[in-house]
Amino acid sequence: MKLVVDSNKVILYLNRMYIQALDFKDKEETEKYMKFLLTKLASKYDMNFSGYYLVHIYIDMSYGVIIEVKKEELEYLDYFTNQIEMNTKIIHGSFLYEVRNLDEEVFNKFYVYKIKEKLYLRIKKELSDFEMGRVLENATIIYGKKADKIIRKAHLVR
């Protein structure tokens, strides 16, 4: 798990081991898990989560999920004191990995896209946990609309 705190949102990176038992088709169960996760983060990292949140869950079964949590500022804040309420949106898609360097043997398990001098990988064959770890050590994950835009505009190299 990786946690990034931006000025107005929290981004969680959960690899596939964290989400094996989750059924993202069940919205109620997904929101229940998200509330549990936010409560756990609040206690572990001395953060405060209460109020209404927009939660975008980006799913790629090869990697796992990336969760963006953004607090929605509402005028009637007293209603949500010490409560967590949320609106979740689940987005299925492929993640891209912007790489700096990587072994040639691993490239065979990816589609490779190129824009200018940057290379982006999209998984086409199942990776072992070890191989995924090697990729993540040398890459930045791109997801959502930005990944879609790169796929549309990039040149497919292999």
What is the per-residue pLDDT across 59-89, written as a single tens digit (0 to 9) for each? 998 899 999 999 887 765 555 567 888 899 9
Residues 41 and 66 in one domain: yes
**Rounded percentage of the chain residues whose pLDDT exceeds 90:** 32
Whether the CB-CB separation of 112 and 119 falls below 8 Å is answered with yes
* Per-residue model confidence as pLDDT tens digits over 114-132: 998 889 999 988 888 888 8
Domain edge (last residue) among 65, 92, 119: 92
pLDDT of residue 73: 78
Residues 124 and 82 in one domain: no
Residues 41 and 78 in one domain: yes
Residue 138's SS3 state is coil
Residues 55 and 113 in one domain: no
Domain edge (last residue) among 46, 63, 92: 92
Q: Which two tokens stand for residue 154?
A: 């990039």
Q: How far apart are the first and last CA of the chain?
A: 31
Residues 87 and 116 in one domain: no
Residues 88 and 115 in one domain: no
Residues 28 and 55 in one domain: yes
**For range 22-47, the mean pLDDT:** 88
Q: Which domain holds residue 76?
A: 2-92
Residues 16 and 78 in one domain: yes
Residue 118's SS3 state is strand
Residues 22 and 40 in one domain: yes
Domain edge (last residue) among 52, 77, 92: 92
Q: How many CA atoms lie within 13 A of 54 on its CB side?
A: 7
Question: Cα separation of 132 and 123, whole Å?
Answer: 10
Name the burial class of residue 120, with classes exposed (0-12), middle (13-18) and buried (19+) by CB atoms within 10 angstroms of its CB: buried
Q: How many residues in total does the chain contain?
A: 158
Bigger pLDDT: 13 vs 72: 13
Q: How many domains does the chain have?
A: 2
Residues 106 and 87 in one domain: no
pLDDT(134) > 70: yes
What lies within 8 Å, CB to CB, of 4 at 6+ separation is 10, 11, 12, 13
State phi, psi for 16 to the nearest 5 degrees: -65, -20
Residues 10 and 85 in one domain: yes
Residues 57 and 14 in one domain: yes
User: Would you say the C-alpha torsion 31, 37, 43, 48 has a positive or negative sign?
Assistant: negative
pLDDT of residue 133: 86
pLDDT of residue 18: 76
